Amino acid sequence: MKAPLRIAMLSHLASPCAPTGAEHSLAALATGLVGRGHTVAVVAPGRWSLEAPLRAAGVEVRTVPSRACWLTYWEPRPWPVVAAKWLRYAWPQPAADRLVRELAAWRADVVHVNCLPHLRGVTAARRVLAPRVWDLR
């Protein structure tokens, strides 16, 4: 195997009680990467029900608040609802700069962004010039 990588994995959700499929997928991938000898840190937007099992598996877990960006839907929505979502995302978010600082300090070899709504995660990885993998589901 080549030299182990430092991998930062960004979760768009941090479900306190019932994790989604995307969160379970991220946790399984993080645990598997640690099992292969890589150093993995997961950054979640809040307290997370998967935090304890991840830590037990050797995954570092960090918390940086962020807002997911749900701009697409399966069914049409009234334009005021869509406009409100766009405005909510466009509104400045102080934690966005904190995410950039965390990624820069951690010096990841690659950043994995879990799920389409984490646009700020992709932007943060780009700002620190880290190679990115954006897992779209």
Note the pLDDT tens digit of each residue in 117-137. Answer: 777 888 889 999 999 998 887
Helices (H), 12-134: 21-35, 51-56, 79-90, 94-106, 119-127
Q: Which of 86, 28, 80, 78 is nearest to 57 (CA)?
A: 28
Q: Which amino acid is at 66?
A: S
Give the domain ranges of the chain.
Answer: 6-135
pTM score: 0.83
If you classify domain 6-135 with CATH, what class do you get? alpha beta
The pLDDT value given to residue 68: 64
| The pLDDT of residue 83 is above 70 | yes
- Per-residue pLDDT tens over the stretch 3-27: 899 999 998 888 888 888 888 999 9
- 111 within 8 A of 8, measured Cβ to Cβ: yes
Joined together, the tokens standing for residue 131 give 């190679």
More confident: 83 or 92: 83
| The pLDDT of residue 96 is above 90 | no
Q: Which of 125, 114, 8 is nearest to 62 (CA)?
A: 8
